[in-house]
Amino acid sequence: MTTLRSGRVLKGATVTALAVFVCHVILSTGFAAARAEQQAAAGSGGDSWAGTGTWLITFVLGTALVMPLMLWTGMRILREKGCRLLVIGGGVAWFFGAGHGVDGIDSVQGGLLPVPLLVGVVALGTLLSAPTSPTPRTDPTREPPPGTTV
């Protein structure tokens, strides 16, 4: 079901904010686990590569996989179709933005990505969720196809 433009934009903002929150929690939690593995290995004189697997899985999940999946799923749960621009654009923006700011959470316990980055990704997702052209359900001037009754 396609809704009015303002309703769709509000849904896009909500879904994008929730997806940013979940991806940020994945990154923070995963990097904290990787740091704990590194510290435990360093304390026992173990492997210098400890925590690398956890770090890599966290980075891939938190930047590349979860964001587009959450954007698409959230919009589908809210009964919006045609959100490819939001899914692709939001996923790419999050990948590059979070990838650029990953040092803020990777090296510091309880670190955060820069707030302007988080707000920017939500704002971009809000803009990308707006429909680009009226669909048959939202265009009141559209004539019904010949041979159909309204």
Work out the percent of the chain whose per-residue pLDDT is above 90.
42
pLDDT tier, 146 (very low <50, low <70, confident <90, very high otherwise): confident
**pLDDT over 70 at 114, yes or no:** yes
pLDDT for residue 63 is more than 70? yes
What is the per-residue pLDDT for 136? 54
Residue 54 confidence class, pLDDT cut points 50, 70, 90: confident
Least confident of 75-79, 87-91, 107-111, 137-141: 137-141
**What is the model's pLDDT at position 38?**
82
Q: Stretch 24-38: mean pLDDT, rounded?
A: 87
Structure pTM?
0.79
- DSSP character string of 30-75: HHHHHHHHHHHHHHTT--TTTTHHHHHHHHHIIIIIHHHHHHHHHH
Task: Report the pLDDT value the prediction gives residue 10, as an integer from 0 to 100.
Answer: 93
Average of per-residue pLDDT across 130-149: 66
Report helix, strand or coil for 11.
helix
Q: Are 88 and 40 in contact (CB under 8 A)?
A: no
Backbone angles phi, psi at 110, to 5 degrees: 75, 20
- Spatial distance between the Cα atoms of 124 and 98, rounded to a whole number of angstroms: 14
With beta carbons less than 8 A apart as the criterion, state whether 69 and 62 touch.
Answer: no
Burial readout 46-70 (b: 16 or more C-beta within 10 A, e: otherwise): eeeebbeebbeebbebbbbebbbeb
DSSP letter (8 states) at residue 141: T
Q: Mind listing the pLDDT tens digit for each residue in 38-51?
A: 888 877 777 777 77
Q: What is the pLDDT of residue 70?
A: 95
Residue range 106-111: mean pLDDT, rounded: 73
| pLDDT score of 53 | 87
